[in-house]
Amino acid sequence: MFGAGGGTSSYREVEETDVIFLWGANARENHPIFFHHVLKAIHRGARMFAMDPRRTASAQWADQWLGLNVGSDIALANAMAREIIHAGLANRTFIQRATTGFDEYAACVERYTLEVGERETGVPADVIRDAAHAYARADRAVICWTLGITEHHNAVDNVLSLINLALLTGHVGKYGSGVNPLRGQNNVQGGGDMGAIPNRLVGFQDWTKDTEVRARFEQAWGVKLKPQYGLNMTQMFNAAERGELHAIYAIGENPAQAEADQHRTEHLLTGLDHLVVQDIFLTATARLAHVVFPASSSWCEAEGTVTNSERRVQRVRKALEPPGNARDDLWIISELARRLGHDWGHPSAEEVWNEVRSMAPIFAGMSYERLEREGGLHWPCFHENHPGELFLHSRLWNDPIVGPSAPFSVVEHDPPVERPDAEYPFTLTTGRRLDSYNTGVQTGGFTSPLRRGESLDISPEDAERLGVLDGDPVRVTSRRGSVVAPARLDRSLRTGLVFMTLHFQDEVRVNQLTIDETDPKSGTAEFKACAVRVEPVSVSEPATTSAHGAVGHGG
Amino acid sequence: MDLHLLDAAPTAEEREAVDALLGEPRSGWEGGVRDESRDAFTAAGGQEVRALRHLLLPALLAVQARVGWVSEGALNYVCQRLSVPPADAYGVATFYALLSTVPRPARMLHVCDDIACRCKGAEELCAELERTVGPAYHAPQGEHVDLDEVPSGWLRSPCLGLCEQAPAAMVTVAGPKPVERLFGHADLAGLSRVLKGDLAPSLEPRTRLWQAGDPMLRLLRRVDVTDPTSLDDYRAHGGYEALRLALSIGPEGVIREVSDAKLMGRGGAAFPTGRKWEAVARQPVRPHFLICNADESEPGTFKDRVIMEGDPFSLVEAMTIAAFATGCEQGYIYIRGEYPLAAERLQNAIDVARARGLLGRNIMGVGLRFDLEIRRGGGAYICGEETAVFNSIEGLRGEPRNKPPFPVNVGVFGKPTLINNVETLVNVLEILLIGGPAYAAIGTAGSSGPRLFCLSGCVTRPGVYEVPFGTTLRQMLSLAGGVAGGRPLQGILLGGAAGVFVRADEIDMPLTFEGTRAAQATLGSGVIMVFDDTIDLVPILLRIAAFFRDESCGQCVPCRVGTVRQEEALHRIHAGRTRGDMSGELALLDEIGLAMKDASICGLGQTAYSAVESAIKRLRLFDRSVR
């Protein structure tokens, strides 16, 4: 946040905070370990508010569920902001000292009255007001979000609207207050940390804007760096479509099933000149590849580090030799480099890590020995005697602040690209369940008593109107494709809203339905909202996926 | 919370019973009418609703009283209202004997077949009921039961706490105006009439207190003398003088008097009361809670019932003083579910006291804040264990907690809690009236003050007696008119089912803490149950063993398994089918008993072998068989 690519708070602070906003995050099911920290807070007496179109398992724990319309997050956040400002609950001192752009922001949210908020989000005005007051009046408050915020065509704006709330109330940069994207895996944070994103180098350093950074890397690596960002995944596929991108090297990623609008993705992947996949399983993408590198499993067959959602870098140790011809990722990459004419030798994980420390100041103080001894360290950790920082941006509370001010962002409500209409009357939102992970690559290999397989979750009222009973197969059709799945009656859904997962892509290719409308700033597709039609299927029709040939992608 | 609610819906009656306690549901999510414009977009819950968890047992008892049993629909509705998972609530509902999760007729008769009633023919009475009315009620498994066809049923019950009027029974009639009545001197004719719906036999007048009006009485001086429903009568007989004195000497003064009085807890553990009060008063954590443990369930014990029925205001006053001394603003009286009259009289006393400014926000006009609430148990002996009381009040299964932490530090709702027995609390009035040192002079050096004893079984005048500590068993016996019919004394069960049998030649034992300890006996809850030579003690032991097996909460293995093994061994002995010889069985019983004593987490398991052991070792009950 504010230039640092990580959540601001530590888990301990979440346990000791007073108000938690779980916004677009069904952490009970999708971040079960993190949710234990939330539960500790709840048992301590913290109040939790869940913003989610579905009354999820997380929302059932909430003091108040705010079941906003899919994609109306900014309307909700802005309505809260206006209420906070008008109730005199904004933290004027903090705003004046540590932020910029408040006047423009206040002018922007002015039209988001509680009534407008209710109209756009569906959430009753008094509930919006109460949540806003609870957040603003709390001594400590955190906002946590996940894909319910980011899997929209305006993902970055959604995030900014939440950060605005934190700036408005001063709930950032101090113990127990912060803004936190929850990470879906043990090392999603670590991927960003290491620069596996197109617009930052290791340690979130922007070589296009900071000449010192650029010079440092160019000197260390002995190459000239191109002065522009790389492509994110969405941009890559667009470039492939335009014929500008010819080869992909996919490491631990399964775009053939994970991307929205699957027909198109498959088409583009098969059209590449060269596709290399490095993975621990022969994924659907790997099956399309020209070359497959069987890799080691990073949590037990390799040395290294991971970074969790609280920015704590931790050691991972090798316990087993990888099976068969599988190789450590590091070995594969070094070997590939050597064969491509750049002999880097075969550095150990620690040697690579020490290079990271020398190039990225935020990791400089984290020797393997310290990580071992101290059970991991929070970044930033600038030198060997730096304890690491429990929470980020304490500088904003210095008077005067140290470093740049935190800017408010003017963001406006912009509903999902595809809205229900007469032909496609339902909003389909997708997500995940406790027992499975993403496209099932890592979880499909074992059974779980909780696993039910894919279903179309639908409100009992809609099911009744369609004449569908629990378990009956239904056909779900969007402008891009069509699948058949059993219906599951779910009281947590209101009428007009249906839900599916993406866990069982081999059986039910839900991402044939989703819309490839991506956020230009983050490259994330709007998995959380598309319009579909639901029809009962006669029992004799097999419950499998069928392509919707008549309609091309993009609708 | 991960609620996993059921599909079952409540009936109108069930809904009504729950709503009468909890108010109307606020939304479709809570089981009310779904308002699509609101419920589709928001739901309240969380801390506010989870804080109502303590109403789970009252809600289930309300359904039970209204309908006669707790159906799946009712359970689900309660869960929806309180945000409790049905599986969790089912665990609570099945914990309590007075709650039924299977269909039960509206009119139920609970016939005590416990040890005191057994001395008065309860077993024969049950046999006659079986012969004339039919077997004890048992819900058919998995079949649909049309309760309209089955208007009534009867069940055997553990001790109902009416031992002086044995054999005892309790009738409950579910409905819009539920009836609960405990009555004594039950006979076949009366029980049959009650089962048919004629409740007149359950209205038999109570036996009076034999010592009523005796000027020597300190704790029982108003019982059977004053009108227990009248605050004015209570005040005319010295009521609320003690509170006035307490207010004048301040909280430290009260604790000093109680400490000087050397008052020891009368619940069975004999802990110095002053020390407990001081510990709670000193706790910086707020709020403090006060609980009166009125879950008098030890077989043979009925003294607290006599106080609560006969002088309820005294308990309210005593609790107000305890609250004042220890800084509690909220008190609970946890009373066993089988004491409907006591609960009714206490409720009246609380209501009247509140209306007259003796409870509430400004007691006696001096700004003292304290209020009281009655919590009724659901038929579970273990809920007399102090930490089990906490769990029961909090809406959990009434399982004891591990100690430490002790209640004075972490009690009910996790807060410092003062918990005292009824008799202990009522002693405080006398302490304040006569002063701690004068009180300490009553009784013996190690056991100060008056003490209540419950005489039952084969005595001429069974009942509660108040005597100073130090009175001997022999004197107690003669106070109650000796062994009924002048028969020879076989033995006395001292202290209840968790106590010990003493021999006829031990009755010169002084009834003090130190005297009984020296004799390796215990006063327990003040039970003196007398057995003449006609009583076969082996079935009595079997009943005690069955009692503990039934009442074990089951959370710790030594008790859960030990109580079963103990009963099995006694059954083998009783049936003459010992495994190997008798000495082997006795050695086994001893080993089980030791394991329970050493390894159980609460007093139930620790004392479950006590009576059996004393029957074997003191009464030499099985010596003939050994030979």
Structure tokens at A302: 């390799």
How many angstroms separate the CA of residue B1 from the nearest CA in chain A? 4
CA proximity to A13, closest of A173, A185, A193: A173
Residue B47 to residue A124, Cβ atoms within 8 A: no
Candidates A47, A61, A122; nearest CB to B41: A122
User: pLDDT, tens digit, for every residue of A342-351?
Assistant: 999 999 999 9
* Residue A516, pLDDT score: 84
Query: Measured between alpha carbons, how far apart are the two ends of chain A, in Å?
Result: 35
Residue A267 parent element (H or E): helix A262-270
Structure tokens at A83: 């209420």
* Residue A517, pLDDT score: 86
* Residue A553, pLDDT score: 30
User: pLDDT, tens digit, for every residue of A253-312?
Assistant: 999 988 878 889 999 999 999 999 999 999 999 999 999 999 999 889 999 999 998 999
In chain B, the percentage of residues whose pLDDT exceeds 90 is 94
User: pLDDT, tens digit, for every residue of A310-328?
Assistant: 999 999 999 999 999 999 9
Is the predicted pLDDT of residue A26 greater than 70, yes or no? yes
How many angstroms separate the CA of residue B390 from the nearest CA in chain A? 18
Chain B residues lying within 8 Å of A127, measured CB to CB: 41-42
CA proximity to B430, closest of B443, B412, B419: B443
Which chain A residue's Cα is nearest to B85?
A60
**Mutation choice for A interface testing from B41, B48, B50, B80 by most A CBs within 10 A:** B41
Lowest mean pLDDT among A52-61, A387-396, B344-353, B373-382: A387-396
Residue A47 to residue B47, Cβ atoms within 8 A: yes
Average pLDDT over residues A149-161: 94
Which chain B residue's Cα is nearest to A18?
B47
Residue A67 to residue B41, Cβ atoms within 8 A: yes
Rounded-to-integer distance, Cα A180 and Cα A175, Å: 13
Residue B48 to residue A63, Cβ atoms within 8 A: yes
Q: Where does residue A383 rank: exposed (0-12), middle (13-18), buried (19+ CB within 10 A)?
A: exposed
Lowest mean pLDDT among A47-61, A175-189, B97-111, B169-183: A175-189
Average pLDDT over residues A395-401: 89
* Residue A208, pLDDT score: 94
Mean per-residue pLDDT over chain B, rounded? 95
Candidates A47, A48, A66; nearest CB to B42: A66
Rounded-to-integer distance, Cα A37 and Cα A16, Å: 9
How many angstroms separate the CA of residue A318 from the nearest CA in chain B? 37
Chain B residues lying within 8 Å of A67, measured CB to CB: 40-43
Residue B46 to residue A64, Cβ atoms within 8 A: yes
User: pLDDT, tens digit, for every residue of B430-440?
Assistant: 999 999 999 99
Give the residue ranges of DSSP H helices in B394-508: 422-434, 436-440, 473-479
Report CA dihedral (A80, A86, A89, A92) to the nearest 10 degrees: 110
Chain B residues lying within 8 Å of A28, measured CB to CB: 2
User: pLDDT, tens digit, for every residue of B586-604?
Assistant: 999 999 999 999 999 999 9
Q: How many CB atoms lie within 10 A of CB A451?
A: 16
Average pLDDT over residues B407-418: 97
* Residue A493, pLDDT score: 96
User: pLDDT, tens digit, for every residue of B208-230?
Assistant: 899 999 999 999 999 999 999 99
Is the predicted pLDDT of residue A506 greater than 70, yes or no? yes
Answer yes or no: are the C-beta atoms of B380 and B551 closer than 8 Å: yes
Residue A62 to residue B45, Cβ atoms within 8 A: yes
Structure tokens at A455: 């279903």
**Mutation choice for B interface testing from A64, A66, A493 by most B CBs within 10 A:** A64
Average pLDDT over residues B11-28: 96
* Residue B269, pLDDT score: 83
Which chain A residue's Cα is nearest to B49?
A63
Average pLDDT over residues A348-363: 96
Rounded-to-integer distance, Cα B467 and Cα B476, Å: 8
Chain B residues lying within 8 Å of A47, measured CB to CB: 46-47
Residue B41 to residue A124, Cβ atoms within 8 A: yes
Beta pairing partners, B155 = B110
Is the predicted pLDDT of residue A555 greater than 60, yes or no? no
Q: What is the 3-state secondary structure (H, E, C) of A216-255?
A: HHHHHHCCCCCCCCCCCHHHHHHHHHCCCCCEEEEECCCH
Mean per-residue pLDDT over chain A, rounded? 92
Q: What is the DSSP letter of A280?
A: S
Chain A residues lying within 8 Å of B2, measured CB to CB: 28, 57, 60
Residues of A contacting chain B (CB within 8 angstroms): 28, 42, 45, 47-48, 55, 57, 59-68, 121-124, 127, 494-495
Is the predicted pLDDT of residue A241 greater than 50, yes or no? yes
Q: What is the DSSP letter of B402?
A: P
* Residue B1, pLDDT score: 57
Tokens 């049950």 belong to which residue? B126
Residue B48 to residue A68, Cβ atoms within 8 A: no
Helix and strand numbers (H, E) in chain B are 26, 15
Candidates A28, A47, A55; nearest CB to B43: A55
User: pLDDT, tens digit, for every residue of B229-247?
Assistant: 999 999 999 999 999 999 9
Is the predicted pLDDT of residue B205 greater than 80, yes or no? no
Is the predicted pLDDT of residue A524 greater than 90, yes or no? no
What's the ipTM?
A: 0.86
Residue A494 to residue B40, Cβ atoms within 8 A: yes
Is the predicted pLDDT of residue A554 greater than 60, yes or no? no
Q: What is the DSSP letter of A135?
A: H
Pairing of strands B152-157, B107-112: parallel
- Split at pLDDT 50, 70, 90, the class of B268 is confident
Give every strand in the sheet of B360-363, ordered side by side.
Answer: B360-363, B368-376, B328-335, B288-294, B417-421
How many angstroms separate the CA of residue A54 from the nearest CA in chain B? 9
* Residue B382, pLDDT score: 97
Residue A62 to residue B3, Cβ atoms within 8 A: no
Candidates A48, A66, A122; nearest CB to B46: A48
Residue A64 to residue B45, Cβ atoms within 8 A: yes
Q: What is the pTM of this model?
A: 0.89
User: pLDDT, tens digit, for every residue of B444-470?
Assistant: 999 999 999 999 999 999 999 999 999
Structure tokens at A545: 């996926």
Candidates B2, B43, B44; nearest CB to A57: B2
Give every strand in the sheet of A304-307, ordered side by side.
Answer: A304-307, A312-316, A377-378
Torsional sign, CA A467, A468, A472, A474: positive
Tokens 């002015």 belong to which residue? A110
User: pLDDT, tens digit, for every residue of B471-491?
Assistant: 999 999 999 999 999 999 999
Residue A65 to residue B45, Cβ atoms within 8 A: yes
* Residue A263, pLDDT score: 87
User: pLDDT, tens digit, for every residue of B67-119?
Assistant: 999 999 999 999 999 999 999 999 999 999 999 999 999 999 999 999 999 99
User: pLDDT, tens digit, for every residue of A411-455?
Assistant: 999 999 999 999 999 999 999 998 888 888 778 888 888 888 899
Residue A81 parent element (H or E): helix A73-86
Answer yes or no: are the C-beta atoms of A486 and A499 closer than 8 Å: no
Tokens 């099945």 belong to which residue? B94
Average pLDDT over residues B528-554: 97
* Residue A545, pLDDT score: 46
User: pLDDT, tens digit, for every residue of A455-484?
Assistant: 999 999 999 999 999 999 999 999 999 999
